């Protein structure tokens, strides 16, 4: 039996009778779900249910690392199906013994031994609610969405879905480039004039009237711009200083840029700014660095990618021609893509599918989540605790039956083999 995590969340919210959009963020819901599944997983592991059990073989007396999905040890058996005993760290291992040191297991025989273990519970995620728009250009940060329709720029609060402020372009001015800062301001390059539009002010604050060739927002400071070959940095107080760094945004502890179609990175503090390493060969364009400097988005030979220091995602396969940006927020990780002649938000996190052959497993997860939700809301927990206790009793009864049935089958098999 399979169920999606998003459906379990809906069931839990129905039990609490609350509106998730008003109270619980995506991040909180995923945290509540992951806490619930680990409690249920521990219960199933303690009762030695076999549904989540994996195995691997050892044929050496040397220590062997546990696999990456290892969660809890179920047992160690030899070729005859006999259990090996666990030994302490200070005695020599006998042939029927094993011991665990850090993330390794060591047995006292070079004959084949099988290690049984429970695999790690999955990290629960689900898609976030999506807002769609057909505006010409979009810019996003953690909290605000900026939209440009060719005549004016509007800033919307993503949480409340309402417009914060707007800026009408003056007739005859050419919009060269614009972006949304991490604190919800808009930086605009009109002709060669750089403007910082503050949503708290009735009129835009004009930051610079000098010739500015280009600019970008950077995670290490407020903004970086170039003029006549020199690179300038703007800090949070809008103070300006000339700096010795490449005109490229920071990504973690790297600088990143696209040059002649190749994605290049360079370490911070590198003396020679031409000491770049190639991450992707020719075929890259449309590079975007998120406002926190944690992710980069780009297309490579027409395929969209989002890359962090540790992982690479393909947010959506299909006819995506451009990625505008990516963002990790309290309500999920998303990116803006151009597909079918429309800009839209798309999800990166999948809807986790859980699998178990009995509904009691899902019932306990739902009731545990509902109880945690009500506790965070400081509501009465009497009914929720009774419901969760009843669901747990049903699950434990099912596990006991499964274990008894498995024991009877094993006993009959042992009698046949002995006879």
Query: Could you confirm whether domain 137-347 is CATH 2.130.10.10?
Result: yes
271, pLDDT greater than 50: no
Closest by CA position to 323, among listed 278, 276, 284, 282: 284
Instruction: For residue range 384-394, list pLDDT tens digits in order.
Output: 999 999 999 99
What's the first-to-final CA gap in the chain, in angstroms?
A: 39
Pick the range with the lowest mean pLDDT from 117-121, 290-294, 295-299, 382-386.
290-294
Contact (Cβ atoms closer than 8 angstroms) between residue 363 and residue 3: no
pLDDT at residue number 132: 45
pLDDT digits (tens, 9 = 90+) for 4-14: 999 999 999 99
pLDDT at 229 over 60: yes
| 112's tokens | 């084949």
232 within 8 A of 224, measured Cβ to Cβ: yes
* Mean pLDDT calculated for residue range 224-243: 86
Least confident window among 88-97, 106-115, 385-394: 88-97
The whole-angstrom distance between residue 228's C-alpha and the CA centroid of its chain comes to 40
Nearest-angstrom CA–CA distance, 179 and 144? 11
The residues of the chain that CATH labels 2.130.10.10 are 137-347
Instruction: Give the sheet arrangement for strand 97-101, strand by strand.
Output: 64-65, 104-107, 97-101, 85-86
> In the prediction, which pLDDT does 253 show?
82
* pTM exceeds 0.75 for this model: no
């Amino acid at each position: 039996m399979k169920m999606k995590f998003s459906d379990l969340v809906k069931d839990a919210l129905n039990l609490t009778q609350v509106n998730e959009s008003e109270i619980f963020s995506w991040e909180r819901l995923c945290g509540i779900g992951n806490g619930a599944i680990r409690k249920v997983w521990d219960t199933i592991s303690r009762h030695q249910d076999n549904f989540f059990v994996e195995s691997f073989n050892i044929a050496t007396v040397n220590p062997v690392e546990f696999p990456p999905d290892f969660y809890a040890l179920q047992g160690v058996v030899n070729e005859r199906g006999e259990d090996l005993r666990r030994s302490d760290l200070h005695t020599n291992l006998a042939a029927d013994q094993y011991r665990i040191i850090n993330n390794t297991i060591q047995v006292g025989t070079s004959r084949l031994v099988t290690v049984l273990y429970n695999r790690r519970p999955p990290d629960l995620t689900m898609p976030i609610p999506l807002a769609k728009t057909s505006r010409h250009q979009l810019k996003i940060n953690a909290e605000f969405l900026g939209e440009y329709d060719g005549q004016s720029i509007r800033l919307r609060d993503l949480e409340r879905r309402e417009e914060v402020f707007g800026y009408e372009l003056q007739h005859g001015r050419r919009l060269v480039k614009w972006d949304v800062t991490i604190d919800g301001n808009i930086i605009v390059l009109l002709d060669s004039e750089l403007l910082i539009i503050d949503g708290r002010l009735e009129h835009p604050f004009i930051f610079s009237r000098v010739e500015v060739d280009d600019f970008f927002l950077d995670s290490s400071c407020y903004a970086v711009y170039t003029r006549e070959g020199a690179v300038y940095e703007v800090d949070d107080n809008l103070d300006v200083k000339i700096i010795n760094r490449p005109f490229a945004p920071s990504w973690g502890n790297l600088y990143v840029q696209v040059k002649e179609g190749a994605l290049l990175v360079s370490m911070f503090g590198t003396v020679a700014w031409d000491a770049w390493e190639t991450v992707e060969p020719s075929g890259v364009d449309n590079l975007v660095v998120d406002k926190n400097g944690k992710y980069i988005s780009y297309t490579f030979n027409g395929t969209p990618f989002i890359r962090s220091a540790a992982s690479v995602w393909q947010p959506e396969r299909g006819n995506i021609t451009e990625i505008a940006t990516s963002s990790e927020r309290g309500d999920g990780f998303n990116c803006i893509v151009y597909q079918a002649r429309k800009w839209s938000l798309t999800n990166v996190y999948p809807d986790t599918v859980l699998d178990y052959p009995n509904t009691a497993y899902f019932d306990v997860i739902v009731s545990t989540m509902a109880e945690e939700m009500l506790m965070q809301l400081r509501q009465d927990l009497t009914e929720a605790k009774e419901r969760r206790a009843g669901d747990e009793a049903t699950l434990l009864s099912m596990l006991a039956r499964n274990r008894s049935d498995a024991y009877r089958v094993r006993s009959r098999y042992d009698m046949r083999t002995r006879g």
